[in-house]
């Protein structure tokens, strides 16, 4: 496995690998919003490539989720956003 890095802010989690001194490949990106905006730069490097299935949580290997703690980071956010089905259609 290559040397992977994670950046996290209030809205997104990005997992990337460095391609050279100033370019990176975005491997995975997850956000709290339904629309993700890919950043131009991460950690001072240009985002120049997106990996296949970059926005698919299912495509991330379980080992990677565990090693990087992605499951632990996302789990609280996921549970906060669960909609109560009893409230969905009340007027």
Dihedral sign, Cα of residue 59, residue 4, residue 26, residue 31:
positive
- Tell me the pLDDT tens digit for each residue of 55-73: 887 777 777 677 666 666 6
82, pLDDT greater than 60: no
DSSP 8-state assignment for residue 68? H
Which H/E stretch holds residue 6? strand 4-8
Write down the pTM of the prediction. 0.67
Distance CA 86, CA 3 (A): 45
Q: Is 52:16 a contact under the CB 8 Å cutoff? A: no
**Which of 16-25, 45-54, 80-89 is predicted with the least confidence, judged by mean pLDDT?**
80-89
Please state which of the ranges 6-10, 33-37, 50-54, 68-72 shows the lowest mean pLDDT.
Answer: 68-72
């Amino acid at each position: 496995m290559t040397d992977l890095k994670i950046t996290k802010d209030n809205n997104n989690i990005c997992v990337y690998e460095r391609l050279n001194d100033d370019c990176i490949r975005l491997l995975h990106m997850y956000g709290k919003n339904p629309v993700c905006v890919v950043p131009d730069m991460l950690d001072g490097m240009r985002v120049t490539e997106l990996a296949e299935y970059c926005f698919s949580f299912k495509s991330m290997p379980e080992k990677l989720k565990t090693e990087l703690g992605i499951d632990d980071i996302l789990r609280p956010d996921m549970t906060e956003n669960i909609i109560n089905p009893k409230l969905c259609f009340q007027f």
